[in-house]
């Protein structure tokens, strides 16, 4: 063959680029999508690095692999890949996967509403897609239960001092801090470098000081952070900037105190924020929560019911948002290319 690997993908974005692999990946063993994810992590992590590092990716890139579902109710499965991990759930990526499946004809589109069941590593995700003229106009999905793990916890962050944070699960564990604790810092693109620096430091301090556990995903800890605050936009209720890790963090190396900002309003981050607000008595069931990202676009969330996870109070969130296809891609790895896992450089990567 002319190439060592050839991957077919559809590139989408909701601000953040979210690649959806539709072909070129050999059979992935596993009795469930969760098991397929764990097999990839252990046996073919090269694919994640190849898709997300340079020259085929960049720090804020995410990627998904369409896989056969294992559950009889599911129409399709997908494995989510990010720069440092395989999340069991991602909201923006779910919206992108549903958009690709329908707009590319991988599953039949029914107008005005198409209902799907997708199998994420976290389990079944029920989707309603509003469709018109062959396009997906909006995707609403019901997420796995979300909950608050810590409320108003005070942590000591080196070089920042005491910071008050919440920790919420919305498919990932988020350390969430109110941006108003940092005078002069605004949730705007121009402050992106400082947002990433402060967020990375908060995330690491929270990892070290605030233990978390999910009964279904042993070993999964805090991996992501969110700065949030009020917005003056009448079309939104709250604003956020989520920072994703793009490499290892070391207190001894300030060059690692950074990350990549999520350019979309962040679906699992919105679920975690809603769970925290509900636990504080600030967000009731069945009330829209319009969560604005750093670019100004909005995901609309709502809590549809209360539930429990291993005896812990939890809520079931729904998220609505839109993703747009921007490219059809065939990515290859040349037999002579020495960078078989891609590469990172410290000018833009941690």
Contact 109, 237 (CB under 8 A): no
Contact 343, 58 (CB under 8 A): no
Catalytic residue among 62, 63, 90, 225: 90
Catalytic residue among 63, 266, 320, 323: 266
Contact 87, 271 (CB under 8 A): no
Based on the residue annotation, tell me whether 271 is a catalytic residue of this protein: no
> DSSP per residue over 225-272, as a string?
EEEEE----TT-SEEEEEEE--S---TT-GGGS--EE-SS--HHHHHH
Distance between CA atoms of residues 346 and 248, nearest Å: 12
Distance between CA atoms of residues 16 and 261, nearest Å: 9
**What is the rounded end-to-end Cα distance, in angstroms, of the chain?**
35
Residue of 18, 25, 108 lying closest to 67 (CA atoms): 25
Distance between CA atoms of residues 291 and 43, nearest Å: 37
Instruction: Give SS3 for 309.
Output: strand
Based on the residue annotation, tell me whether 90 is a catalytic residue of this protein: yes
Owner of token pair 């809590």? 303
Active site residues: 90, 266
């Amino acid at each position: 063959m002319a190439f060592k690997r050839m991957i077919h993908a559809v590139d989408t974005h909701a601000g953040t680029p979210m690649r959806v692999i539709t072909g070129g990946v050999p059979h992935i063993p596993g009795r469930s999508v969760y098991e397929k994810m764990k097999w990839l992590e252990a046996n073919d992590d090269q694919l994640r690095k190849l898709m997300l590092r340079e020259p085929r990716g960049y720090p804020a890139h995410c990627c998904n692999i369409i896989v056969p579902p294992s559950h009889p109710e599911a129409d399709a499965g997908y494995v989510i890949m990010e720069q440092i991990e395989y999340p069991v759930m991602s909201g923006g990526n779910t919206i992108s996967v549903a958009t690709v499946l329908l707009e590319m004809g991988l599953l039949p589109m029914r107008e005005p509403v198409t209902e799907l069941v997708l199998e994420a590593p976290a389990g079944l995700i029920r989707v309603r897609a509003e469709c018109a003229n062959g396009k997906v106009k909006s995707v609403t999905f019901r997420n796995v239960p979300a909950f608050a793990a810590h409320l108003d916890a005070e942590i000591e962050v080196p070089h920042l001092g005491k910071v008050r944070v919440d920790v919420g699960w919305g498919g990932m564990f988020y350390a969430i801090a109110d941006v108003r604790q940092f005078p002069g810092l605004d949730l705007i693109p121009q402050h992106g470098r400082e947002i990433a620096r402060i967020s990375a430091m908060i995330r690491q301090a929270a990892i070290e000081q605030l233990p978390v556990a999910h009964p279904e995903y042993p070993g999964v800890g805090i991996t992501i952070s969110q700065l949030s605050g009020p917005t003056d936009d009448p079309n939104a209720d709250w604003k956020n900037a989520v920072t994703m890790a793009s490499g290892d963090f070391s207190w001894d190396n300030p060059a690692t105190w950074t990350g990549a900002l999520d350019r979309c309003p962040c679906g699992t981050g919105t679920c975690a924020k809603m769970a925290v607000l509900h636990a504080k008595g600030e967000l009731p069931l069945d009330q829209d929560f319009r969560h604005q990202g750093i670019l100004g676009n909005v995901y609309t969330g709502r809590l549809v019911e209360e539930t429990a996870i291993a005896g812990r109070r939890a809520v079931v969130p729904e998220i609505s948002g839109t993703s747009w296809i921007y490219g059809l891609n065939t990515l290859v790895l040349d037999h002579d290319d020495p960078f078989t896992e891609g590469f990172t450089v410290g000018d833009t990567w941690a």
